[in-house]
Structure 1
Amino acid sequence: MYKRMNETNLPQNVRSVGAVVHALQILRHLAADGAPQGVTAISRATGINTSTCFNILRTLAAERLVVFDMDAKTYRLGFGVVELALGLLGANHGDLIRPELERLALNNSALMCLWHVTEAERIVLVDRVFSSTSVRVDMHVGTRLPSLVGAVGRCVAAARDFDEAELRRRFAGLRWQDPPRFEDYLADVQSVATNGYARDRGDLFIGLDIVAAIVVDHTGAPRYGLSGIAIAGQVPEPAMERLGEDLVEVAQRIGQALFSVRK
């Protein structure tokens, strides 16, 4: 079920329009499920009142964003969605993701980074957005790191699902400014299954607090890392945890949009 966008996801002084939010919930649900559904099923899955859901679906059908099957009494996505997306086909993934980085930077006192996970066991910084509300950290676009270091690396390790012996072998070759114990690193990797995000508290870079989540493709392979980096102590612990949860939600949304990942 898709969650309604709340005020913290929007720039200041901007309020969401309920009908638009509901229409997007319906479209995203149909895209994620992939199968034609009736009004009652769509209403139940999205939490939208049945009559409201019916009226929105009729409007979407009139605009060719959904197609109504009169015999089965079901709705599915229509060609109008493809027409809307034509301008994005072939676009650089980083350009599509950047608005999410900007939103996260606006709402958090942290440097927001987008990392590309390469097949050569590296992560490469492909974009970053600064917060304008705090003393800032910077990293150069093009920075390359081993794929298993830091907060992003812990998430990558979790996605790759190495056994303990293999993870220990790979861990031994990693370089950190303040190396963690393997047992602590292993516990952090295992916690990703529960939290969806990982933390690095001054291990990779002394004095920096990092939280991260990853975008995976339809096979579960890591493709991108999203991280928030702040000077240690500058962002309160509860705020870093909320940022981690926000990163997980954004990463899941990007995975669905770019790689057809099912929820």
Structure 2
Amino acid sequence: MVDEQNTQFVPAVQNATRILRLIAASGRPQGATEIARQSGLSVSSVFKILRTLHQEGLITFDADEKTYGVAMGLLEFAIPLIGSSPGDLIRPALSAIAHDHGVMIALWQITQDDRIVLTDRFVAPGTVQVVIAPNSRLPVFAGATGRCYAAALGLDKAAARRGYDTIRWQDAPGFESYWQDVIAARDSGSAQDRGHLFRGLDMVAALACDATQVPRLAMSSITIAGQHSDDGLAKVGQTLADVAARIEHIVFGRPRSGPTTVDEREETECQ
């Protein structure tokens, strides 16, 4: 496991990365003052970082307009990823979640016939796990994933009820409880199913949509009930939601709507 609390990070690298993301996301050249305002850093610090990034060929500088933009040098880092499948890009992140939280992570493809199909799974060594056959299929409204699906589509209560009624629950949560979970998932980006779809299993899920808001991939933690505390499962859910947001932005090209990771949100709150 990675103990991030005791890991020493380099603020200069974090600031440079933040600035690169701001410039890339803006879609237009920006001046140092504007970048400083958006990043929450001092103008002098931003200016030094911008000069260094320009020297390294990662950003451009327009001497007439005094603005900075993305440069071809960034492609040097992207070339190894060109031609990779989404699964190849996602696997390292999901494998890290499995190891860091001691869970089994399932990656599902959301199909056009209202099903989710298991495409991959990741397990930390020594984890007591549930065995799921490759290409297993479940109804899209089932379990924790189903709550996220209804939330992502912005379904009203009647439409969510129709989806809920298609599921064979081993211990039905009741639609009102399911609906409250859907509402909560709209804000948190994740949802839980504690023994309702399958007795004895705790499931936590998040999903990634493409640029047109169509749900494409779902990620779920599936563990035997009692293995993790409520707080532990909540942390898994937040981590899955963070990764889903990154997948949406990097793989499917959805624009960022704000800070997505825990670290980025904490930085924003402190500014």
Q: TM-score, normalised by structure 2?
A: 0.86
Kept in 2: contact 1:109–1:230 (CA 8 A): no
User: What does the per-residue CA deviation read over 1:215-258, in whole Å, with 9 as the maximum and x for residues that have no partner?
Assistant: 11122211111211221111111111111111111111111101
Deviation at 1:198, TM superposition (A): 0.6
Q: 1:56 aligns with which of 17, 39, 49?
A: 49
Deviation at 1:13, TM superposition (A): 7.7
Deviation at 1:20, TM superposition (A): 2.5
Kept in 2: contact 1:177–1:203 (CA 8 A): yes
User: What does the per-residue CA deviation read over 1:157-196, in whole Å, with 9 as the maximum and x for residues that have no partner?
Assistant: 1112222222222222222222221121111111112222
Are residues 1:234 and 2:227 paired? yes
Q: TM-score, normalised by structure 1?
A: 0.89
Are residues 1:68 and 2:61 paired? yes
Residue identity (%): 44
Are residues 1:153 and 2:146 paired? yes
Q: How many residues align?
A: 255
Structure 1 residue aligned with 2:200: 207
Structure 2 residue aligned with 1:221: 214
The DSSP-based 3-state class of the residue aligned with 1:246 is: helix
- Counterpart amino acid of residue 201 in structure 1: R
Are residues 1:256 and 2:239 paired? no
Bigger CA drift: 117-126 or 136-145? 136-145
| 1:138–1:46 Cα change, 3 Å | farther
Alignment of 1:119-138 (within 5 A): 119-138=112-131
The DSSP-based 3-state class of the residue aligned with 2:251 is: helix
- Counterpart amino acid of residue 137 in structure 1: V
Aligned equivalents of 2:16, 2:211: Cα separation in 1: 25
Are residues 1:90 and 2:83 paired? yes
Deviation at 1:133, TM superposition (A): 4.9
Aligned equivalents of 2:144, 2:135: Cα separation in 1: 18
Structure 1 residue aligned with 2:26: 33
Structure 1 residue aligned with 2:267: none
Moved over 6 A (4+): none
Deviation at 1:34, TM superposition (A): 2.2
- Counterpart amino acid of residue 67 in structure 2: T
Q: 1:24 aligns with which of 17, 22, 26?
A: 17
Structure 1 residue aligned with 2:183: 190
